[in-house]
Amino acid sequence: MGFPNIGMHYFVKGFNKLDIRFPVTKQTLIEKAGDLQIKTWDDQYTPLREIFESMVPEEYPNGTAFMCAYTSANLQMPKKMFLETND
- pLDDT digit string (tens) for 9-59? 899 999 999 999 999 999 999 999 999 999 987 888 999 999 999 999 999
Predicted pLDDT of residue 84? 76
Number of structural domains (the chain) is 1
User: What's the confidence (pLDDT) of residue 41?
Assistant: 79
CA dist., res. 55 & res. 70, Å (int): 6
Does residue 81 belong to any structural domain of this protein? no
Which pLDDT score, from 0 to 100, does residue 1 have?
37
Nearest partner of 34 among 23, 19, 21, 56, judged by Cα: 19
Residue 85 maps to a domain = no
pTM higher than 0.85, yes or no? no
Q: Is residue 83 part of a domain?
A: no
Whole domain around residue 50: which residue ranges? 5-76
Residue 61 falls within a domain, yes or no? Answer: yes
Q: Which of 37, 64, 41 is nearest to 50 (CA)?
A: 37
